[in-house]
Structure 1
Amino acid sequence: MSTVTTPVDRSPEPWTGRDDGREPDTLRWHHVVGTDADRAGPGDAAFVGFRSDEGVRRNQGRPGAADGPQALRAALASMALPAPVRALDAGDIEVRDADLEGGHRRLGAVITSLIDQGHRVVVLGGGHEVAYGSYLGLSGSRALADGSRLGVLNLDAHFDLREDDRPSSGTPFLQMAHSEELLGRQLNYWVLGVSQPSNTERLFSTADRLGVRHLADTECGPHKLDRVDAFIDAFLESCDVVHLSIDLDVLPAGTAPGVSAPAAYGVQMEIVEHVCARVAASRKLAVCDVAELNPGLDIDNRTARAGARLVHRILTGRRTMPRPA
């Protein structure tokens, strides 16, 4: 049985949604997500929310992502399951009084506890500052204590390697690089979906200096699937434990309008889902965070549904894209 030893700021609430019965072939997510940690076991998925706008605010973006966790839960709740699973909702960490740093520490402690109990952890963001809290949780876990190689894969239009006096939604991966350096390691960081117009030359230089591998959004089309697969396969070969970070602004604005910085180009949903499924199938994934959903900017819940579908695919099995003719 499982016990979350670090308290959250908001206790989990029961999930609700469409109900066609509770037989194995009519189950939906709200049927299988529990809020009692003592009834969850190793191997079960575990959700934790990170209610934070502070990083986006510091990065001069459009606040509203603090409401993202609940919107993702609502979008996921009625999705039909292909097979019975079990999951735990551990509740939310909430950043108050602009204390992002304290929020990172509390989130990290909850994630470490969940990982050490054998859960597959999905963090529902929040702005992309959530990624550093996820890193803290993974870096403090037993999963890395034996010398396993960490790999961080970011699906994002941005490097988020901004140099700044204070942590923000633009700094989490530079923070990770500095933390790894203090431990005598180099951050193994890869980015898929980088948009050249959205990243300054200084950011590209920082990425080069840190040895970051990246694939541009223009190189991620359906007819370049071999290139995408080669990139992901090389990433997976470089590590033993994966931190997958999904910034929903990697998707085109028509698919994900409800983000602080909608993408003019973006990576198509079918490619992003394919990548997520490929990473999940590797069995190396320890923690995944989904960031930047801003429900106040969303249209017809498109962004929430897209984010929820990616989580659904990661936790329920692999789907591969057909090859172009």
Structure 2
Amino acid sequence: MTEYFHWHGRDDRPGDEHARWFTTIIDAEAEPVPPNAITLVGFASDTGVARNHGRVGAATGPTAIREALASLAIHDDRVRADAHTITYTNTSDLEAGQQQLSDTVAALLDNGSGTVVTLGGGHETSWASHRGLRQSHHGDGKSIAIINLDAHFDLRTSDIATSGTPFKQIADAWPHDFHYTVLGISEPNNTRILFQTADQLGVTYVTDDALADLTAAEAAELVTKAAATADILHLSIDLDVLPAHVAPGVSAPATLGVALPQVRAMCLAAAHTGKLRLVDVVELNPTYDVDGRTAKVAARLIHDITTVLPHP
């Protein structure tokens, strides 16, 4: 099922000088989307989180992110579009929902969207969105680097998809083009087998402790380096990479986390590469948010990424 969010927010007066997200965003299913638009698509599901024994609530994440984005001011002429939200809340329907998201991402990219931003949902979103990127003409014969800002590897092996399996699923599906970097790993929150799996798969990772010793500029350089040899970049932002006081509304709050200025610098570095075709923002759980704090952080990161993406 696909649901549309009706954008609304603070309306000062008409004119580009008063533009905000809600006054400028295009309904991708109601009107033509120009080439190289930035397109949002939501994936509302708690199933992956529930299967991974996390606290549910991420299904309402896409709506909360859009509400936080709506009144942010627009200072450029980039076209932003909304391709609605794919909603699958029944456990037995997760794989069907993931297939619909894959097909939607592929269609958006093939129809001219420059960058697709998926709004989760749990991290199971990333398996579906990445598969969509691979299905599109952008993924045809191209080398794709994945950069995941996350406290967890999400490399679990399981008979069913969960929020903890997406990057193992990607590694199994494309073993000869698996270029995966995780920035923000919490050592106490990843078992020994997950570190062993990461090493076996050639994963590059930096812990939250190591990132704490870096400046924002040095953290950004990690992203630039990870993207250097790839044709295309997939950036996945798991909001639980941030400290719990910054992002309380997530499925698994971080005790330490990575500071917001570093996370923001890494996001901007990804956008500046000119290779960014897919962004996931996942694990927002509004049920546990405080004053919309986590949703506002998610919105600011999306806003900043879309603002600095190079114009075609």
TM range (shorter): over 0.9
> For the structure 1 residues 225 and 200, does the alpha-carbon distance in structure 2 shift closer, same or farther, using more than 3 Å as the test?
same
Instruction: List per-residue Cα deviations over 1:104-126 (Å, max 9, x = no partner).
Output: 11000000000112211110100
Q: What corresponds to 2:95 in structure 1?
A: 101
Offset, 1:36: 4.4
Superposition map of 1:1-325 within 5 A: 9-37=1-29, 38-98=31-91, 99-119=93-113, 120-145=115-140, 147-181=141-175, 185-221=176-212, 223-225=214-216, 227-317=218-308
Q: Shift of residue 226 of structure 1?
A: 5.3
Q: Report the Cα distance in structure 1 between the residues aligned to 2:171 and 2:253, rounded to whole angstroms.
A: 26
- Measure, in 2, the Cα distance between the counterparts of 1:111 and 1:12: 16
Give the 3-state SS of the residue equivalent to 1:41 in structure 2: coil
Contact 1:13–1:35 under 8 Å retained in 2: no
AA in 2 matched with 1:236? A
Q: Distance in 1 between matches of 2:222 and 2:28?
A: 39
> Which one-letter code corresponds to 1:263 in the other structure?
A
Give the Cα–Cα distance (whole angstroms) in 2 for the partners of residues 223 and 64 of structure 1: 33
- TM-superposed deviation, 1:16: 0.4
Asked if structure 2 preserves the Cα contact closer than 8 Å seen for 1:52 and 1:65, the reply is: yes
Which piece of structure 1 moves more, 163-172 or 15-24?
Answer: 15-24
How far apart in 2 are the matches of 1:207 and 1:64?
28
Verify the 8 A CA contact 2:224 2:273 in the aligned structure 1. no
Aligned residues: 306
Aligned to 1:3: none
Question: Aligned equivalents of 1:57 and 1:50: distance in 2?
Answer: 15
Residue 218 of structure 1 and its aligned partner are, at CA, apart by 1.3
CA shift in 2, pair 1:315/1:272, >3 Å? same
What is the SS of the residue equivalent to 2:139? coil
- From the superposition, tell whether residues 81 and 93 of structure 1 become closer, same or farther in structure 2 (CA, over 3 Å): same
TM-score, normalisation: structure 2 = 0.95
RMSD: 1.4
Give me the whole-angstrom Cα distance separating, in 2, the residues matched to 1:290 and 1:232: 17
1-side partners of 2:212 and 2:132: how far apart? 33
Between the aligned partners of 1:306 and 1:229, the Cα distance in structure 2 is 18
Change (3 A) 1:225 1:14: closer
| Distance in 2 of aligned mates of 1:32 and 1:108 | 26
Amino acid at match of 1:121: V
Q: Which amino acid aligns with 1:81?
A: I
Distance in 2 between the 1:73 and 1:227 partners? 31
Provide the rounded CA distance (Å) in 2 between the counterparts of 1:280 and 1:221.
Answer: 22
Rounded Cα–Cα distance in structure 2 between residues aligned with 1:70 and 1:229: 29
* Identical residues among aligned pairs (%): 43
Structure 2 unaligned runs (5+)?
none
Q: Distance in 1 between matches of 2:254 and 2:129?
A: 24
Q: CA deviation at 1:222?
A: 6.8
> Residue 39 of structure 1 aligns to a residue in which SS?
coil
Q: 1:149-180 deviations in whole A, cap 9, x for unaligned?
A: 10111000000001112110000000000010
**Secondary structure in 1 aligned to 2:16?**
coil
Q: Which amino acid aligns with 1:265?
A: L
